[in-house]
Amino acid sequence: MAKVKKTAAVTGVRNVKASKKSAKRIAKKAAPAKDRKPVTAGRKSRTGTAAKRATAGRGSTKRATRASTTRGGSTAKVKSISADRPKARVAVPAVRVVVKPLEPHAKCGPGTSVQYLFRVDETVDGRTTAHLVFFDRHGWYCEHGRNCPAVAHAKKYQGHIARAS
């Protein structure tokens, strides 16, 4: 039978070659702590703050809690994050596009294969960028590349179906 490589979600351990240090660390995590009682499946009720923490996040979509960790016998405070706080709004940049058709034979010369030539002036938050968009036997392209957003604006201006960003 072929050997199947299991993912970390199945095994709980990453599939990497373990060094001596990481092997000790994994063994330490896997070993039960001496001062804690092992948790059994037959336990029906929990008491104290652990039960409160376990039931605090259930059924509530507005509050997420981080589990407290024990280090050196002391427990860290449980921090709750509330969804009631206003979220920071991301400002949408103001984009203004001006497409101007140019005469390809006048700009590129009489022997050019360029059929359409456009100058696209794109203004994003006050910064202006000039683009030259060509259409010839190679297709639509800008001086900045085929994936430049100015290509979509020029195609839309020409009447081709294109998605302008």
How sure is the predictor about 90, in pLDDT bands with cuts at 50, 70 and 90?
Answer: confident
Distance set, CA 70 to CA 36, 48, 61 (Å): 11, 15, 26
69 backbone dihedrals φ, ψ, rounded to 5°: -115, 150
Alpha-carbon span 142 to 124, nearest angstrom = 18
Alpha-carbon span 3 to 82, nearest angstrom = 47
Alpha carbon 56 to chain centroid distance? 30
Tokens matching residue 90: 């991301």
Alpha-carbon span 132 to 134, nearest angstrom = 7
78 backbone dihedrals φ, ψ, rounded to 5°: -85, 125
Q: For residue 13, is pLDDT > 80?
A: no
How sure is the predictor about 25, in pLDDT bands with cuts at 50, 70 and 90?
Answer: low
Q: Does the predicted TM-score (pTM) go above 0.85?
A: no
% residues pLDDT > 90 (the chain)? 36
So what's the pLDDT on residue 2?
73
Q: Tell me, what amino acid is at 132?
A: L
* Residue reference for tokens 């509050």: 63
